[in-house]
């Protein structure tokens, strides 16, 4: 059997991802980002539980502009990963896996995670 | 048709399942933690550390972190498998990731049980 070589478009500058593809790659990006921050977060947790001085220091770290920016970034990553993860679990159960429903739910994931992050960001700034 | 080994070959169904089970555990913990946080509403060090005093709180927090580390291992391993083609580099990074996650797990136990 002869198989025709399939066209491959793996050039990142030429790939045009459909909406569900964006949700998928952002799920990966947000997961990797949170993984890279685990050490920092454990450090802050450790500091905050160690002593009243440590707690004050941790609070200072998290309320500075750099801390707040990192926290907002992490909140977006968590929210996106959480909501997209629930969407993937539903897709595993064949809920909403037809094309139009999958497009709508992926748009909902993208919008909802950004809106929730904005609400959080505004409330802490 | 690709030849597939029918038995004994682990094509990742176990990891697939573990990733979903750990995700569910973390999602439930997030909700429980949110409720505990809102109810106790810790304002200073003593209220914050008091939140982690009950044995059940420490236990479910540890369960959360162990789920997180296992979940992260599968996710990061998938990323390495997809993007890093050099076997030596991939293996090195995977071993490093495992060691770091084991260290995190021990650190978490130390943090939670020294409160």
Q: Cα B103 vs. chain centroid, distance in angstroms?
A: 12
Q: What is the H or E stretch that residue A100 is in?
A: helix A99-124
Q: The pTM is what?
A: 0.89
Is there a domain that residue B3 lies in? Answer: no
Pick the CATH number of A65-125 from 3.30.360.10, 1.20.1440.230, 1.20.1300.10, 1.10.630.10: 1.20.1300.10
Give B74's pLDDT tier (boundaries 50, 70, 90): very high
Distance (Å, whole) CA A57 – CA B29:
26
Domain span including residue B74: 13-113
pLDDT of residue A21: 92
Transcribe A49-82 into DSSP letters.
Answer: HH-HHHHHHHHHHHHSHHHHHHHHHHHHHHHHHH
In this structure, is residue B6 part of a structural domain?
Answer: no
In a domain, B7, yes or no: no
The verdict on A60 touching B (C-beta cutoff 8 Å) is: no
Residue B4 in domain? no
Specify the CATH number for the domain of residue B46.
1.20.1300.10
CB < 8 Å to A34, chain B = 72
The tally of domains found in chain B comes to 1
pLDDT of residue B97: 98
Structure tokens at B115: 């409160």
Do B76 and A35 lie within an 8 Å CB cutoff? Answer: yes
Backbone angles phi, psi at A16, to 5 degrees: -115, 105
d(CA A78, CA B48): 22
A-B CB pairs within 8 A amount to 52
pLDDT category of residue B6 using cuts at 50, 70 and 90: low
pLDDT value of position A88: 95
Give me A110's structure tokens: 């993208």
Find, in chain A, the residue whose alpha carbon is nearest to that of B72. Answer: A35
Q: State ipTM.
A: 0.89
Cβ proximity of B73 and B97 under 8 Å: yes
The answer to whether A49 contacts B79, with C-beta atoms less than 8 Å apart, is no
Mean pLDDT of B102-111: 98
* Distance separating alpha carbons of residues A13 and B78, to the nearest angstrom: 23
Cβ pair A38:B72 closer than 8 A:
yes
The answer to whether A122 and A81 are in contact (CB under 8 A) is no
Q: What is the mean pLDDT of the segment spanning B17-45?
A: 96
pLDDT digits (tens, 9 = 90+) for A60-118: 999 999 999 999 999 999 999 999 999 999 999 999 989 999 999 999 999 999 999 99
What is the average per-residue pLDDT within B39-55? 95
**What is the length of chain B?**
115
CB within 8 Å: A55 and B44: yes
């Amino acid at each position: 059997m002869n198989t025709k070589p399939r066209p491959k478009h793996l050039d990142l500058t030429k790939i045009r991802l459909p909406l569900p593809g964006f949700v998928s790659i952002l799920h990966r990006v947000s997961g990797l980002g949170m993984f890279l921050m685990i050490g920092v977060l454990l450090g802050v947790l450790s500091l905050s539980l160690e002593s009243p001085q440590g707690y004050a220091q941790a609070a200072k770290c998290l309320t500075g502009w750099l801390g707040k920016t990192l926290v907002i970034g992490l909140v977006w990553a968590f929210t996106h990963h959480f909501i997209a993860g629930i969407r993937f679990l539903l897709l595993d159960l064949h809920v909403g896996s037809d094309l139009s429903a999958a497009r709508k739910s992926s748009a909902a994931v993208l919008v909802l995670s950004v809106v929730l992050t904005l609400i959080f960001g505004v409330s802490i700034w | 048709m690709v030849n597939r080994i029918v038995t004994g070959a682990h094509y990742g169904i176990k990891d697939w399942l573990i990733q979903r089970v750990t995700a569910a555990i973390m999602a439930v913990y997030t909700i429980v933690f949110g409720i505990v946080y809102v109810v106790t509403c810790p304002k200073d060090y003593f209220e914050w550390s008091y939140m982690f005093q009950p044995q059940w709180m420490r236990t479910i927090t540890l369960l959360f972190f162990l789920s997180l580390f296992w979940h992260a291992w599968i996710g990061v391993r998938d990323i390495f498998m997809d993007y890093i083609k050099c076997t030596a580099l991939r293996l090195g990074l995977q071993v490093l990731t495992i060691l770091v996650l084991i260290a995190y797990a021990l650190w978490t136990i130390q943090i939670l049980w020294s409160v």
